[in-house]
Amino acid sequence: TLSQPCLHISSIDASVALAMSGVITFISAKDVPGQNRRLWFNNPEELFAEEEVICVGQIIGAIVAETREQAKRAAEQVAITYQDIQPAFFTIEVFEAIEHQSFFDPKRKLERGNVEEGFKKADHILEDELYMGGQEHFYMETQGLIAIPKAEAGEMELYVASQHAAYTQEVVGITLGIDSNKITCHVKRLGGGFGGKVMKIASLSAIAATATYKTGRAVRCVLERGDDMLITSGRSPFLGKYKVGYMNDGTILAADITYYSNGGCTLDESSFIMEKALLHMDNGYKIPNLRGHGLVCKTNLPSYTAFRGFGGPQGLTIIEGVLHEVATRCGLPAHQVRDINMYKDEKCYTHHKQLFSPRDMVQCWNECLEKSDYTHRCLSIEQFNAHNHWKKRGISIVPLKFGIGFSKGFYNQVAALVNIYKDGSVLISHGGTEMGQGINTKAIQIASRILKVPMSSIHIKETCTGNVPNAAPSAASFGTDAVGMAVKNGCEKLMRSLEPLIKKHPQYTWQQLVVEAYCQKISLSATGFFMGPHTSLDWEKSEGNAYYYFTFGACCSEVEIDCLTGDHENIRTDIVMDVGRSINPALDVGQVEGGFVQGIGLYTIEELQ
């Protein structure tokens, strides 16, 4: 890796490296049999940098060797000469990208009401900005894969750490110029994903596949932690510039917020992330006149990508910051100002005109206030602060409205394949990816309930593009929703065909039933499919049902700050989360807690340099 972005590549010389022991070959753009450049929603993505390098950590070539140590040593010996071309800009807080108007298209806007009118009627106007930094995924297992060539017809098997096996399959196919039906991607499980193993892993897979293609041997590529953090990047930093018009009692009449996100050097998922941020800019508040602009800045950093929440946290943070500022200026308790502005009516519309009921959010809010003993603790905190000069405590309670599902409607689909074998055992293959969230456990639970067989008879081996094609990524908090429904559908199909047999032989055990079905030539395999909601958004009109439904919650945290050292301690947190009818409470609690901890990291202690 180099330490300066924005350079023109003059020459690449791998001769010294190739002469080293154990080194098999060096691959770069010219070794790509198919396409080195491809389009991702009309934005170019390059596998190997051919002429220009646009960020630090961009991949120019790869050394293939017998062992990792040999490869590392040889990689350092590859000589690349560069020419400086243009000024590089990195960050949005230094306004470089904004100054140079370096943005990706499309630029988005959402609006409801009339913001200018709202400002006129308001008692006060507030203009300020809030910046939040990015975050590194830091999944325990770094990104990696093994690509294995098969003897015939260009077949290749890849064992990948990916949340989106189908996309990896697609990219490998484009890169090698081989049809998807000959490329199979397997994912058994991930050591954590968090959104980071969707996009970049496809490029890594294509690189390893190119090496496999050229050498005819199985190739393993696993990133070391430092490289992983640099190359695959993380959550986009956001800058929110806002103008708010509010009344003396804290009611916010109008808010105009411009979001700038750091998209990095390629578009990747940044425009979708910005869309989600805009779609969440209202959080739980019925601000009547609301306008949001979203601009994704193009900078010379490794491309920022998806991360748990996908722009939601960034959008929510800015509006919560606004609420807090308004409360401070009004001299009113923050929770009161939040309460005044909250959606309360039975039927409410978001700023993108999606109908929903905030009933559950209000319930979570009230329950959290009660369970956290908010009012009493406020008083004791005031007392504490009065008596402590250098240590201060604070408490805050925040509501949450979070959209579930993809706003890009076509992603809301998933399939599952359910096979029953003659010995009665069941094998399920679904389009989702297990990364510790327990999707496989829940899928087995669902199948067990419908087929009426114990969970021990049901097995999920892996996610495989050969079993379930074109699966959407396991993302958008939608995995279990979708996969669960697909598995349910598949199992129900099987039960329907087995029903006549069950009626005829009610005394049969499951295994006898299965054997009888086989003898009666009744299919023991079924595909389940879930066609999710038709979500979409008309950005011109600022309207559309962007999400399947909303998940609500509320969280109250108490923190103690040391005014001298700047250190802080999290004293107590109460989270009330509406998870509907939980399929598996243990898993759900784990997910909520894990998400909370990642949030603590994001907002308080993690900082990207």
Instruction: Write out the residues near other proteins by the rule CB under 8 A.
Output: 68-69, 138-142, 189-192, 224-226, 434-438, 586-587, 589-591, 593-594, 596-598, 601
Radius of gyration of the chain (CA): 27
Rank residues 69 and 562 by Cβ distance to other proteins and give the closer one.
Answer: 69
- All residues at 6 or more sequence positions from 404 whose CB lies less than 8 Å from its CB, including other chains: 476, 477, 478, 481, 547, 548, 549, 550, 551
Compute the least distance from the CB of residue 435 to other proteins, in Å: 6
Q: Output 227 or 560, the one with its CB closest to other proteins.
A: 227
Least separation, in Å, of the C-beta of 434 and other proteins? Answer: 8
The distance of closest approach from Cβ of residue 196 to other proteins in the complex, given in angstroms and rounded to an integer, is: 12
Q: What angle do CA 529, 532, 537 make, to 5 degrees?
A: 150
Query: Residue 15 pairs with which residues in a beta bridge?
Result: none
Residue 411 DSSP symbol: G
CB 232 within 8 A of CB 196: yes
Cβ distance to other proteins smaller for residue 522 or 600 = 600
In terms of Cα–Cα distance, which of 137, 143, 167 is closest to 40?
167
Residue closer to other proteins (CB basis): 141 or 516:
141
Q: Residue 139 or residue 552: which is nearer to other proteins going by CB?
A: 139
CA 292/CA 115 separation, integer angstroms: 10
Distance from chain centroid for Cα 505: 48
User: Which of 43, 425 has the CB closer to other proteins?
Assistant: 425
Angle made by CA atoms 527, 528, 530, in degrees to the nearest 5: 145
Report the phi/psi class of residue 316: left, alpha or beta, with left for phi > 0 and alpha for psi in -120 to 50. Answer: alpha
Least spacing, CB of residue 227 vs other proteins, in Å: 10
Residue 545 burial by Cβ neighbours in a 10 Å radius (0-12, 13-18, 19+): buried
CA distance 269 to 297: 13
Say if residues 495 and 448 touch (Cβ distance below 8 Å): no
Q: Are 416 and 430 in contact (CB under 8 A)?
A: yes
Residues 198, 475: Cα–Cα separation, whole Å: 9
Question: Residue 189 Cβ, how far from other proteins at the closest point, in Å?
Answer: 7
CA 153 – CA 366 distance, rounded (Å): 63
Question: And the tokens for 483?
Answer: 């996969």
Other beta carbons within 10 Å of 566 = 7
- The residue among 245 and 484 lying less far from other proteins, judged by its C-beta, is 484
Nearest distance from C-beta of residue 546 to other proteins, angstroms:
28
CB of 585 to other proteins, least distance (A): 10
Q: In the complex with other proteins, which residue's Cβ is closer, 210 or 591? A: 591
CB of 479 to other proteins, least distance (A): 14
> Is residue 106 reached through a cis peptide bond, with omega within 30 degrees of 0 on the bond before it?
yes
The whole-angstrom separation of Cα 132 and Cα 397 is 19
Q: Smallest distance, Å, CB 553 to other proteins?
A: 16
State in angstroms the smallest separation of the CB of 282 from other proteins. 29
Nearer to other proteins, 507 or 609 (CB): 609
Which residue number, 36 or 437, has a Cβ lying nearer to other proteins?
Answer: 437
